[in-house]
A and B are shown apart, each in its own frame.
Chain A
């Protein structure tokens, strides 16, 4: 992989938040990520694109150690270093729960818990031991405001999360991910189950969220990556083919393979 010169241009003022270093990952015998390297910049949106099965979701799920939940998955070399404390998220001594407390995630299909709207958002605070009612109330309200959902649900916090529309449910999940004040939020194709209007509102929200938090998003919608991200990585067959500033990846890709994919000749 080669880091383009364009990255330096886009970096102005942006600090490194995390660094994927020559990461190898296996599902059983299947080599799913092959020496992947990529920087993640603080308070920027980084998008991962590529055809199905290219490893983009696999890479995303390394960031919160989701792979640890299933047997047979193996981080085989390299790592993901989180700054400013230089912690390798994948080091054997690092507790995956600690990693998930720092890096939260929004899934492909909205997955609110079958609990009330309030309890859905409060859950990520409760696992952190927060019991004080007024503090919980404040944090839930600010998370729902941050997810642009407060005005729609402020008078129905006791209702089930599942009673909301699909787009609202996804914003509820964003509020849940936001409530614990994470350093990075991972988005795994967050709009693939939503209609165009709900998609637009989620995209707008993601653009606003980068004020508060660093964002890594997997999308199979290239226009979406072009619209909302600052940096884009193109992956194919478990390798990072090209990484760079989004405008440059889409306007002047350095690799033939990237160009073929984004122009629709392949993929």
Chain B
């Protein structure tokens, strides 16, 4: 027989236990705010400083010794072209490597060592990639201080991220789907191309974007391979000029990228250049966010038709 007093005792115990819920939810919100607020403050501060400086001319002007004339034309074109080379080289390599490790590779000590090394590669400081690229791409292969060298360097840098994301996306496909394909008589390649890649593409895309977002802000390895900090011309467009340039001549052009342009401006003593740097920073963050937004949209479209 339950007495009213017992009920009160139970309620008191529940109330005491729930105080911990309250405590931890407050702690959680606080921890969350450290990250979110810091970013918001930085971004808003940068926006307040930089946004008034944004104008059409800012995007279409080359850097200049006079802060009010300076623009980011060479920087944003350089960033986009370097990212293009990075994506075109890192995505096929990373996805192919990830698919191989998940679907084809035998599970033995060799592949175990490779796996551990891929995780380690993701933790190597980017400056080391810069040094490697300086020796390998710039001098040994003779690509020079070009968009190609920079793109390939950043591709190496984000390769582990893409490989790991590819593997995780593949592992998220239920074993039963995998077995279902083989049970139909499919070969490994048929299973990969008809099932594994289509069903994991959303997850792979997320990894690619995380990698690209990291690459777009990298400065150290790009400086190491010798990007110019002041550049007042664009790479030649395909088939432009006289004699006409080839389709891919631009990949050997010297270049600069957004973070280097910012770095260059922040090191100037004049306050006007700091404003320029803030404006460029705002554009860079916006580029990253736009890339993320696109990825979220594409991922949503891809996932809509995938239900297990």
Contact = CB atoms under 8 A, between A and B. Distances in A.
B183 A101 contact: no
A124 B195 CA distance: 13
Interface in A67-117: 69, 71, 97, 100-101, 104-105, 107, 109, 111-114
Nearest to B107: A71
A37 interface: no
A139 to B, nearest CB: 14
Contact of B195 (A113, A128, A160): A113
A40 to B, nearest CB: 18
A162 B106 CA distance: 32
Given A71-B106, A160-B307, A162-B308, A113 B177 contact: yes
Nearest to A124: B184
A69 B176 CA distance: 12
A114 B183 contact: no
A123 interface: yes
B182 A100 contact: yes
A114 B307 CA distance: 6
State which size class the interface on A falls in.
20 to 34
A176 interface: yes
A160 B305 contact: yes
A105 B194 contact: no
B177 A100 contact: no
A101 B185 contact: yes
A113 B199 CA distance: 9
B107 A176 contact: no
B266 interface: no
B180 A100 contact: no
Interface residues of B, number: 23
A123 B183 CA distance: 11
Given A71-B106, A114-B199, A160-B305, A127 B177 contact: no
B179 A66 contact: yes
Given A104-B184, A111-B174, A113-B195, A69 B307 contact: no
Given A69-B179, A105-B183, A127-B185, 20 more contacts: A71-B107, A97-B186, A100-B185, A104-B184, A104-B185, A107-B180, A111-B174, A113-B180, A113-B181, A113-B195, A114-B177, A114-B199, A123-B184, A126-B194, A127-B190, A128-B185, A160-B305, A160-B307, A173-B180, A180-B184
25 contacts: A66-B179, A69-B179, A71-B106, A97-B187, A100-B182, A101-B185, A104-B185, A105-B183, A107-B176, A107-B179, A107-B180, A111-B180, A112-B180, A113-B180, A113-B181, A114-B177, A114-B307, A123-B181, A124-B184, A127-B190, A128-B185, A160-B307, A162-B308, A176-B184, A177-B183
A-B pairs with lowest CB-CB distance, top 6? A162-B307, A111-B176, A101-B185, A124-B184, A105-B183, A100-B185
